[in-house]
Structure 1
Amino acid sequence: MENNPIFFADGTDPKMLEAYRKAQETFKYFWREQSWEYRRIIPGLSVSCVKVAFSQEDPSSDTPAVEHMWINNINFDGDFIKGYLINNPNTLTNVAVGDYVEIPLNEISDWLFAMPQRAKKATGLSKLFSSSSKSPLPKAYGGFTIQKMRSDMSPAERRAHDEAWQMDFGDFNDIEIVYEQKEHPENLVEHPMSRNMKDELVKFINENPAEITGQDRNGYTLLHTETIAGNLSSVEVILKAGADKSLKTNSGKTALDFARQLNWEHLIPVLED
């Protein structure tokens, strides 16, 4: 991505500030997809990254210099987003490509993932006369600041932008945040892999009962991590297996705390019960 053209925008623009807010509010869906990506045998995401505002004191100005750049190899503990910078800064000298960063959720400015699209089957005359075998570009999800910038472009500029990114960004007025959102609106409530892997999780817990009570070095249990990822079926299986909802991380948070913090509305009643 570091070779893509850079499109500049006014960070004080109310619509851009609204894009930042939406990205922070919906980041949980990015993490839900990314957490399942780490479990896939065959990768499903062609792109997965988060945009962060990096800053540095500017001796010639009363305000710091700011550049919004992308990080990847993302991890998330419910509080902090962690990853590695993949862009070359234009002016900043306090960060460089490959630097590891940890930032709170409320400081990101965007997120983006892309997945391959299923090729549409040609029918009728289109099938008879079609000579193109070109696969559709990966579909982009999220990208709120990108869509704001695309909305300010001419149609020709948008085509050039999308060609540079090699992604299908769709309609800038209709931003999707989960895979096949229109075809399967239930995916907004729960990731399909959470539903489909429910029996496998039951089997795993039966074979590894210590996983229910185990805590990592930061105090996170399986219930914590599945709650942060918004996986209802997984949470229900873990609770049924006897998980202790009162266990806290080293920072003092229960699974319910994370459900409330991330506003996973479908998990809060389950963890409160």
Structure 2
Amino acid sequence: MEENSIFYADGNDPEMIKAFHKAQETFKYFWREQSWEYRRIIPGLTISCVKVAFSEQAETGEIIVEHMWINDVSFDGDTVKGYLINEPNDLRNIQVGDYVEIPLTNISDWLFAIIPNVQKPKGLSKLFSSSSEPLPKAYGGFSIQQMRSEMSVAERKDHDNAWQLDFGDFNDILVVNHQKEEPGNLIEHPMSKNMKEKFVEFLQQNPDDIKHIDEDGLSLLHKETIAGNLTTVKVILESGADKSIQSKAGKTALDYAQQLNWEHIIPVLEN
């Protein structure tokens, strides 16, 4: 995937700026999915990346801006971190492979894709089915969808073929897997609920993990709150976690829940 020429986004376009803001508002869903991806034995995402606006002042005094993608993303509730995967067109202060840390308010898009589960035909019906596999379904991609909205049908087809992704309808951008079929997935990730028993067992076997603080000052309660996992948050609280612990940024789990607007978790941490 290259940013060069084909996928460059004009940040001066009011509609594109709206797309940037929407990406920032919904980034929590990207991080929730990515946090579970890191725990999967078998990867579920075919692509997972975040677009960032990088800038540099040229000798003429002009500010050069390029929107490029980073992957291997991590998130501490405030800062998005990862590695640049594009070769800049004009910027000289950054290069592909560089590690970057960006405030959430500075990202311009996010994207992940999942191969849809398709019921394959059985018996003789296989003879009459298509041999082609479905393209991975794209989620997010607000700036991409804004660009697609201005393309002709043929241009969109060429664009989507270049990415090898199913972007769907640019007027109906999805942010979580099976969003239409299972609306509850907007509130709670299925893995959070399905992994409850194993998570309880894990904490019973590793009770010290509840009190462990990482290099960012984040506890397990902080992390599960940031990822929007109500079920695991409840398990951690029931296991005796201290809600008053602050991160290095001076924030409690409740602060992060409010900051990211995880409405289903806020009441649990307020009690």
TM class, shorter-length: over 0.9
**Residue 59 (structure 1) shift:** 2.2
Secondary structure in 2 aligned to 1:270? helix
Give the AA of the match of 1:223: L
> Structure 2: which 5+ residue stretches go unaligned?
none
Asked if residue 173 in structure 1 is aligned to residue 171 in structure 2, the reply is: yes
Structure 2 CA distance, aligned partners of 1:105 and 1:217? Answer: 19
Q: How does 1:229-248 map to 2 (within 5 A)?
A: 229-248=227-246
Structure 2 CA distance, aligned partners of 1:231 and 1:157? Answer: 39
Secondary structure in 1 aligned to 2:181? coil
Return the match for 1:192 from 187, 190, 193. 190
Aligned residue for 1:15?
15
Asked if residue 210 in structure 1 is aligned to residue 208 in structure 2, the reply is: yes
Structure 1 CA distance, aligned partners of 2:166 and 2:138? Answer: 6
**Residue 122 (structure 1) shift:** 6.2
Judge conservation of contact 1:4–1:164 (CA < 8 Å) in 2. no
| Equivalent residues, number | 270
Structure 2 CA distance, aligned partners of 1:6 and 1:128? Answer: 38
Return the match for 1:220 from 191, 203, 218. 218
Structure 2 CA distance, aligned partners of 1:45 and 1:209? Answer: 31
Judge conservation of contact 1:88–1:96 (CA < 8 Å) in 2. yes
Aligned residue for 2:67?
68
Residues 257 and 3 of structure 1, relative CA distance in 2, 3 Å threshold: closer
Greater shift in the superposed pair: 38-47 or 52-61:
52-61
Q: How does 1:1-273 map to 2 (within 5 A)?
A: 1-2=1-2, 6-61=6-61, 63-119=62-118, 127=125, 130-273=128-271
**Residue 131 (structure 1) shift:** 4.6
Judge conservation of contact 1:52–1:108 (CA < 8 Å) in 2. yes
Deviation per CA, 1:143-177, whole angstroms, max 9, x where unpaired?
Answer: 00000000000000000000000000000000000
Judge conservation of contact 1:5–1:164 (CA < 8 Å) in 2. no
Judge conservation of contact 1:4–1:165 (CA < 8 Å) in 2. no
TM-score computed with the length of structure 2 as normaliser: 0.95
Aligned identity (percent) is 65
**Residue 269 (structure 1) shift:** 0.5
**Residue 246 (structure 1) shift:** 0.3
TM-score computed with the length of structure 1 as normaliser: 0.95
Aligned CA RMSD, in angstroms, stands at: 1.8
Judge conservation of contact 2:8–2:66 (CA < 8 Å) in 1. no
Structure 1 CA distance, aligned partners of 2:97 and 2:10? Answer: 26
**Residue 209 (structure 1) shift:** 1.2
Judge conservation of contact 1:119–1:135 (CA < 8 Å) in 2. no
**Residue 8 (structure 1) shift:** 3.6
Greater shift in the superposed pair: 162-171 or 12-21:
12-21
Structure 1 CA distance, aligned partners of 2:10 and 2:148? Answer: 13
Structure 1 CA distance, aligned partners of 2:10 and 2:85? Answer: 22
Residues 131 and 198 of structure 1, relative CA distance in 2, 3 Å threshold: closer
Deviation per CA, 1:222-254, whole angstroms, max 9, x where unpaired?
Answer: 100000000000000000111100011122111
Secondary structure in 1 aligned to 2:158? helix
Judge conservation of contact 2:51–2:110 (CA < 8 Å) in 1. yes
